[in-house]
Amino acid sequence: MIRVEHIRDGLIEEEHSGYVLTTNVGSASDYPYYLRSCAKPLQASLMIDYGLDKKYNLTSEEIALCCASHAGEKCHIDIAKRLMEKFGLEYDWLKCGLHAPLYDKNTKEKITYYHNNCVGKHILFLALCKENGWDIATYDNIDNPLQQKVKEKISQLCEIPLVDNIYPYSVTKDGCGVPILAMPLKNMITGFINLFCDSKYEKIKNAYLENPYIIGGMNRLDTEIIQNSDGLAAKVGAGGLCAVVNIKEKDALVVKINDCNMDTRRLVVFEALNKLGWSDYKCDKTIKTLHGDIVGNIRITLGW
């Protein structure tokens, strides 16, 4: 288990814990955690399975948006609208809900479904339903054939056996209202390796590597990781999660911060990537006053 301590003048003022592991380094229990938005590239594999990428001649940017937790900037909204038109979908069919764009939560512009960080996933879900004749009105329901296919696909990629088509871990609703699966962290690693290192899903891999800003955007960790590395694909998830795939090594890293602190998640991810030799990114671990005086430091113990 990792430990992150904020030490100010010799005293531990703040402390965080969690897990960080690869296929060969680190350990965690079999306790299941929800995939949250880390599920998006796994869910998007159905786009390839059902041939939507070829039928609609999807660009790398468009595929990236289907896998994204985007910041709601103009570049993201423009692609979302283009996808809706390509697939022949209606705006009112979307059920992702409304929230302010992540890049500016105090924006004065009118908030639409296109600002929702999950809208790309929902557009893809609608397109899959339309393509296969599945009920569009209930695409967010676990009993819909779409969501059953998602469950089966993620179970396959993450190597989780289904017994009588029953998922062995918890299933709930994600923040955007669609079903989300829980699983041990080791299965998350397996799923990401099986997806990103399979030539069948090369378009998804390339979408991540070629479009880091579409995957996230302003102040988004996955964007920062991809932009500052060579051959790393990354996806963040709520609940303190981040998964990173080293395409060349055919390995993956997963980080889970127990209290879901996003700043701690960022520091731990880069500390782990640097120790693995997957990146050489410098993070400031000093604690400063508003005047710039250094009064402490952040100590990270990965347990490796």
- How confident is the model over 149-180, as pLDDT tens digits? 999 999 999 999 999 999 999 999 999 999 99
Q: Find, among 51, 55, 56, 76, the residue nearest to 66 by Cα.
A: 76
Residue-wise pLDDT for 273-283, tens only, equals 999 999 999 99
Confidence of residue 108 (pLDDT cuts 50, 70, 90): confident
The confidence score (pLDDT) of residue 126 equals: 98
Pairwise CA distance, residues 23 & 193, whole Å: 10
The confidence score (pLDDT) of residue 73 equals: 97
In 91-227, which residue ranges form alpha helices assigned H by DSSP? 119-132, 145-157, 185-196, 202-210, 212-215, 221-227
Can you read off the two tokens belonging to residue 181?
A: 């699966």
Answer for the pair 206, 151: CB distance below 8 angstroms, yes or no.
no
Residue-wise pLDDT for 199-210, tens only, equals 999 999 999 999
φ and ψ at residue 143, rounded to 5 degrees: -85, -10
For residue 71, pLDDT beyond 90: yes
Mean pLDDT of the chain: 97
CB neighbours of residue 213 within 10 Å: 19
Residue-wise pLDDT for 25-61, tens only, equals 999 999 999 999 999 999 999 999 999 999 999 999 9
Confidence of residue 294 (pLDDT cuts 50, 70, 90): very high
- How far separated are the first and last CA of the chain, in Å rounded? 9
